[in-house]
Amino acid sequence: MGCWFSKKSKRKSPDKEATTTVEENTTTGNNISLSSNATEEPPKQYSWDKREKVDPKDFMLTGLKDATVGRLPGKLNGQQFVIQDCDNCKIFVLDHSATITIDDCTNCCIVMGPVKGSVFFRDCRDIKCVVACQQFRTRDCQKMEVFLCCATQPIIEASTGMKFGCFQYYYPELAFHFKDAGLSIFNNNWSNVHDFTPVSGETNWSLLPEDTVVLDHVPAPDPESEFKSVRVSAEASRSIVPMTKGGRRKESDESCLFVFFAGEYTTANARKLIDEASGKGFVLIQTKEVSMRPEDVSRVFQNNAEGLLEWITNGPVTALELNGDGVVEACKSMASEVFSGTKVFVSDNRNTSSRDVDNFFNFADMQMGL
């Protein structure tokens, strides 16, 4: 059991439309035509005529070497972007975009703001990057280090020497860019990589060490560059995306499911929980934000479903798996002491907590097609 704690006469001539004003002459009694003013209707304007003209060059970086380049916040505003044939460059795309393709690049460090669709690397090698996207894919790539936030399962194809870590990055506009791109900071499948072309006896991808420092691999913008005014940080405590353990081995056999139901402060509450739990030595394994129907509630929460049905009507739920010895009792205490006025579900005891975790995250993965 869990806890819930927009007149003048007009005559048309063959070549124009004229407006003629006729007045009565009071002396002679004759009708005198005083004026005939020709006017032409302005051409119609359509919505596409009013659009600002787009220069494709503003949305691509190509053939660059030894340069620090990119786009500042507000320069892309959801457009597609292309990076190609760059060598030894530091690239900062600090805005949200529709899709980004990266072709034939070598020895580059790349930071990408949230991408609504796909990020696709092709024929690249020696790349270190920070990426947030809906879909992530590589083909014919070698030696990449990727600090990733991906809403779906990352896919590599004919690629070798691929290393993955959890997204850890911050700049002031990043949270807004996540929202504009339609990405949830809680849906991150960074470690659930699918190798489309596995080779028997070889490992084409692995996870970076947990203590990896992002800025040691993907340096901050140079002080003399145009990006110097952007306050960038890669500290896990400041990262917009929570740092999760992902597919690495858990240190403890005890995990706890903690679910926040939709409310005004759901994201802030989830962050507070992570901070509280981390301060007590517990580890965040995974997170998910997903919508639920009444039948889903019954399946996932089982005996606790009846008291939770009314809470799913306001929007998606946010769930966290926390791990560590004594985590269940600690989470119950935090629910009652820190989140007493908040709609939550917490595993009730360690004997059923693993089942709670499996039920919820298996359901969430199915909902997201993972």
Binding site, residues? 117-118, 134-137
Name the CA dihedral angle for 72, 76, 81, 83, rounded to a multiple of 10 degrees. -10
- Please give the single-letter amino acid code of residue 18: A
d(CA 75, CA 205): 34
Strand segments (E) across the chain: 10-12, 17-24, 31-38, 60-62, 68-71, 81-84, 90-93, 100-103, 106-112, 115-122, 125-139, 142-150, 155-157, 160-166, 194-195, 205-207, 255-260, 283-290, 317-323, 344-346
Owner of token pair 């809403």: 151
Q: Closest Cα to residue 2, out of 364, 268, 357, 368? A: 357
- Cβ neighbours, 10 Å, residue 242: 22
Binding-site annotation: residue ranges for GTP: 117-118, 134-137
In Å, how far are 54, 110, 175 from 172, measured between CA atoms? 27, 18, 7
Pairing of strands 125-139, 100-103: unpaired
Name the CA dihedral angle for 189, 195, 200, 206, rounded to a multiple of 10 degrees. -40
Residue 357 backbone dihedrals phi, psi, to 5 degrees? -60, -50
Q: Which parts of 280-324 fold into alpha helices (H)? A: 294-301
d(CA 83, CA 112): 11
CA 184 to the chain's CA centroid? 6
What are the residues facing 20 on neighbouring strands? 36
